[in-house]
Amino acid sequence: TKKAFIFDLDGVIVDTAKYHFLAWQKIAQELNINFTLEDNELLKGVSRVRSLDIILELGKVEASQEDKNRWLIQKNEEYLTYLVDMDQSEILAGVLPVLQFLKDKKQPIALGSASKNARPILEKTGIIHYFDAIVDGNDVTNAKPDPEVFLIAAQALGIKPEDAIVFEDSVAGVQAANIAKMISIGIGEEKTLHEAKYIFEDFTHIELAFIEKLINK
Ligand code: G6P
Ligand code: MG
């Protein structure tokens, strides 16, 4: 049967989570806010605007909309400097074989990301052709854990939410998939992603036989 395989981008397909962190850390430093790798977990999967609010809350900083807008632009400019030289080598290990397997099995594939930079990243890494639908930060109004992004993705593929499988590295994203009644697959650490139905350290730990089972369910 046809299932919808929905992939988050940052931290699932490409190792950009570290670049988001570095760019936010620079803003935090300028504002004298202590912002750690652990705090960063709260930002994963979360929109740019919401991420800044979380950092400001951490530092108990109140700011005008004008300042916030400036920092949002600054963060993205910093982030984009890391993407300039991006190529296929930044695709996380094990991802390509799974994408290729799904294509061979004629399974619908979608991207479900909060990022407004998703399309250029898929183009630079040379994998945009795998995706039958791309739903990103330009298409949604409600950030994960709201399920909007995944529901739109499943709909675009013509598949019911119950028949959708979501790969996510963020707590907010796993929650969004669960709220959408989709099968959530956490990519990362058990202690962070325990709400996911299945958890794998990374894609090299996912066997194609497991994917095949999901397809045949
Ligand atoms: C993803 C990342 C977040 C990021 C968000 C928005 O969900 O996990 O860290 O803040 O996308 O990305 P953008 O590229 O639009 O700033
Ligand atoms: Mg992510």
One digit per residue, pLDDT tens: the chain, 217 residues? Answer: 899 999 999 999 999 989 999 999 999 999 999 999 999 989 999 999 999 999 999 999 999 999 999 999 999 999 999 999 999 999 999 999 999 999 999 999 999 999 999 999 999 999 999 999 999 999 999 989 999 999 999 999 999 999 999 999 999 999 999 999 999 999 999 999 999 999 999 999 999 999 999 999 9
Q: How much is the CA Rg of the chain, to the nearest whole Å? A: 17
DSSP state of 201: S
Q: What is the pTM of this model?
A: 0.95
Q: Is 39 exposed, middle or buried (0-12, 13-18, 19+ CB in 10 A)?
A: middle
Q: Which atom of ligand 1 is nearest to the CA of 169?
A: 8
Residues lining ligand 1, Cβ inside 6 A: 10-11, 20, 43-48, 51, 76, 113-117, 137, 170
- Cα of 209 vs centre of ligand 2, distance in Å, is 24
The helix/strand/coil state of 187 is strand
The CA–CA distances, whole Å, from 163 to 4, 58, 81 equal 6, 38, 38
Residue list for the binding site: 8-10, 24, 43-48, 51, 75, 113-117, 144, 168-169
Tokens, residue 87: 């190529």
Q: How far is CA 68 from the centre of its chain?
A: 23
DSSP state of 195: T
Atom of ligand 1 nearest to the CA of 11: 8
Tens of pLDDT, residues 23-74? 999 999 999 999 999 999 899 999 999 999 999 999 999 999 999 999 999 9
Question: What amino acid occupies position 120?
Answer: P
Does ipTM exceed 0.90?
yes
CA distances from 145 to 42, 161, 214 (A): 11, 15, 23
**Class of residue 68 by CB neighbours under 10 A (exposed 0-12, middle 13-18, buried 19+):** middle
Contact at 8 Å (CB) between 137 and 31?
Answer: no
Q: Is 85 a catalytic residue?
A: no
